Amino acid sequence: MSTSASSAYQVRVAEPEDLPRILELWHGMSSTRVQDVVEQRRSWLYERNPVGPAVTWVVVEPTTRDVVACATAFPRRLRVGERTLTAGLLADFLVSPRHRIGGPALMVQRTLAAQSRSFGFSFLFGYPNHKALPIFKRLEDFRIVAQSSAWLKPLRLRAGLEKLIGPRLPKAWSATLREGVAQTAAGVAALAGDRMVPVVDWLRGLRVPSATLPLLTRRADAIGRELPAFPAPRTRIVGARDQAYLDWRYAEYTTAQCEMFSVSHAAHAEALGLVVFRRDGACAHILDASWGDGPDAAAVLFAAFLRTLRKDGVHEVRAAYVGARQVKDLLRRFGFIERPSKRCLVAYVEPQSESWLSEAVLSEESWALFDGELDI
């Protein structure tokens, strides 16, 4: 067992007897969705990943033997150029409130990085939240590859119009009066506006051929016996999206219920592309997307996806994305509005690695990541 130590703490790979204390740290996560399904999530994420089990490092206080911090790398199979490698996706980075003084947090990530190669990880990448990002900025060999962006596509205008109109009404009016006027005005404006949204999409080139078959499902195996290998978006780093991975990652996801959308030509059954998403009330969040090489594959996929959600009563579609400009250009073309985001893609490549690997991993244009990869 590999161990590193300082005068106050020890860092090592987690052992089975550490699990109760690690679970206590997980129960302190800010996400109530995680708190409610801690054991189910542990089994799903740590044991059933088709690529292999996760590896967790812990920080132990020697005098009490308490686990005061933990960090995990989950195996993710990626194609980098012509090679298929196993990367480590960073997650579950937690520090006990009484030990958030920098030391344990820095130690566990430094040790994880230094020992990652011995556990089969060719490189590491992750999407730290605003609390963890300052730690990664202080780690010498980690790099901030790119800042993510948030994207919004309105499908129905009423809710958005209410938010715009309400703050502009006289402050002297009562809250009830302002709310009523905003709802009425937004409803009237939306009668015309909602009819114009699909027209504008059509003018953008988002057209659904009549001979197409949309499919909404919760499992990848329903899309076809052999899930097509969707090559786009074409970037230097591409995650494997085979049936086993998609069903594990999204159909069995413990903290949200996900759906998969695909569309195919009626003349042949092979799908043109795939969008994975989850619903949150009247909002849909894109988790993953890929499509075929045909010139109109992306446009047909997103046109059919947006039309299907609009018919289902979805008001807006959101996405978090980091990576190549080609996908940003597509999102803009499809009417998505870009908004700033403070979250960043970070990566670690062992300093002794070959230069081609560092060049690929540390370049924003090599990646095309939606929220399903960014925030597990």
| Residue pair 115/73 in contact by the 8 Å Cβ criterion | no
What 3-state class would DSSP assign to 366?
Answer: helix
DSSP annotation of 248 reads I
Q: How far is residue 24 from each of residues 29, 35, 68, 97, 106, measured CA to CA in Å?
A: 9, 10, 10, 12, 20
Sequence-distant (6+) residues with CB within 8 A of 175 are none
Sign of the CA dihedral with 281 first, then 285, 290, and 296 last: positive
Q: Which amino acid is at 212?
A: T
Cα 350 to Cα 329: distance, rounded to the nearest angstrom: 32
Residue 2: per-residue pLDDT: 43
* Measured distance CA(343)–CA(213) in Å, rounded: 37
42, 29 in Cβ contact below 8 A? Answer: no
Q: C-alpha angle with apex 288: 285 to 292, nearest 5 degrees?
A: 130
pLDDT of 3 reads: 45
Longest dimension (CA), the chain: 70
14's CB contacts (< 8 A; 6+ apart) are 22, 56, 57, 58, 67, 70
pLDDT of res. 29: 64
Strand partners, 239: 78
Closest CA to 347 of 369, 330, 331, 328: 369
Where along the chain do its domains lie? Answer: 3-122, 148-155+208-342+363-376, 156-204
Calculate the dihedral angle through the C-alpha atoms of 376, 41, 276, 230, rounding to the nearest 10 degrees: 80
| Distance, first Cα to last Cα, the chain | 28
Give residue 225's pLDDT.
Answer: 52
CATH of domain 148-155+208-342+363-376: 3.40.630.30
DSSP annotation string for 156-184: --HHHHHHHHGGGS-TTS-HHHHHHHHHH
- Distance separating alpha carbons of residues 60 and 5, to the nearest angstrom: 9
Angle in degrees, CA 200, 204, 209, rounded to 5: 95
**pLDDT of amino acid 139:** 94
Mean pLDDT by 10 residues, the chain (376 residues): 58 92 79 74 91 95 88 96 95 87 89 96 94 92 95 77 67 80 64 66 78 88 70 90 90 90 81 93 94 87 93 93 95 92 94 95 96 80
Q: Quick one: pLDDT at residue 31?
A: 62
pLDDT reported for residue 1: 42
Architecture of the domain spanning 3-122: 3-Layer(aba) Sandwich (3.40)
| CB-based contact 13:57 (threshold 8 Å) | yes
b/e code 264-285 from CB counts within 10 Å (16+ = b): beeeeeebbbbbbbbeeeebbb
Tell me how far apart the alpha carbons of residues 219 and 241 are, in angstroms, rounded to a whole number.
13
Q: What is the helix (H) or strand (E) element at residue 115, kind and residue range?
A: helix 103-116
* CATH topology agreement for domains 3-122 and 148-155+208-342+363-376: yes
Question: The tokens of 25 are what?
Answer: 């740290």
User: What pairing do the DSSP bridges indicate for beta strands 124-126 and 83-95?
Assistant: parallel
